[in-house]
Structure 1
Amino acid sequence: MSELEKEVAKIEKYNQEIIDGFKAWLEKENLSAKTIKNHIANIEFFAEYLVYYEPSQQLDEADDQDIYDFLLNYFPRKAMWASESSTKSYMGSFKKFFSYMLETNKISPDIEAEVKDTLKEGKQEFLDAVSD
């Protein structure tokens, strides 16, 4: 196993713990199983992006710029299911996920606020990126 493969495996294991915590948090929010599954799938795909397209980046290191780049560039180009509704789904998942990350002290309030501002201010730009 190469050093890069070892690093990727380490990050994926670390991220899985965060995702498992997020799932438990969503379950406490009394969301439907389908909604929880959707949020988890969205965050898992984003985590994959962080590992393979921004090497060595863990979920708790993500910020507003990562969200912006993902929704504007990566997602519309790489996800065959990219559409306005799936983009809105990702935006909702990011809001929930970063609320969870703040509530569990994994990120600072500034990062959560910047992510939510980016989602709000970039909404039309993100939707336009998948409708071209």
Structure 2
Amino acid sequence: MVDNYDEQVEKIEHYNQPILDGFKDWLEKSNLSAKTVRNHVNNIESFAEYLVCYEPLRRLDEIEDNDVSDFLIDWFPRKALWASESTVKSYIASFRKFAKYMIESQRMSAEQETEIRETLKEGKEEFLDAVRMEDSAW
């Protein structure tokens, strides 16, 4: 049993790497531009880092809809200096693609994927409002 936080994070990062590599390969096969592939992978890598910032630590194949929602409505607008409406939209697109990849690679249940997609659809305006409010605070 790993009881050291840093060791847990390292173990999760090591576990997530093949998922991230597979996502990149999957995107490259879908005829997206190199820039778009890089953007989607960077977005999901950033989210993966968020998942190990706070307890409970989560792997990418353990994500739930509330992880995505909390990231887009709270953490990203407050912590990312580059947060904007366009980056939120980019993250939403990346999460949709990532969920599709996770289903196709059998790393996520259909129920998880459906909940994430519904959260992205239903929460879009709330996610955008969070960034707008953070922008207006400056």
Q: What TM-score, normalized to structure 1?
A: 0.96
Alignment partner, residue 38 of structure 2: 37
Aligned length: 131
Alignment partner, residue 67 of structure 2: 66
Measured in 2, the distance between the counterparts of 1:6 and 1:86 equals 31
- Give the match's secondary structure for 2:41: helix
- Give the match's secondary structure for 2:67: helix
Measured in 2, the distance between the counterparts of 1:84 and 1:54 equals 28
Give CA-to-partner distance per residue, 1:39-72, whole Å, 9 cap, x none.
Answer: 0110000000001123431000001010010000
Runs ≥4 residues deviating over 3 A: none
Q: Tell me which amino acid in the other structure corresponds to 1:59.
A: L
Alignment partner, residue 53 of structure 1: 54
Measured in 2, the distance between the counterparts of 1:124 and 1:3 equals 39
Once the 2 structures are TM-superposed, how far is the Cα of residue 87 of structure 1 from its aligned partner? 0.1
Give unpaired runs (5+ residues) of structure 2: 134-138
Measured in 2, the distance between the counterparts of 1:61 and 1:81 equals 27
Alignment partner, residue 26 of structure 1: 27
Give unpaired runs (5+ residues) of structure 1: none
After TM superposition, the structure 1 stretch with the greater mean CA deviation from structure 2, 7-16 or 87-96, is 7-16
Q: What TM-score, normalized to structure 2?
A: 0.92
Report the aligned-residue RMSD.
Answer: 1.0
After TM superposition, the structure 1 stretch with the greater mean CA deviation from structure 2, 29-38 or 45-54, is 45-54
Once the 2 structures are TM-superposed, how far is the Cα of residue 17 of structure 1 from its aligned partner? 1.0
Percent identical: 60
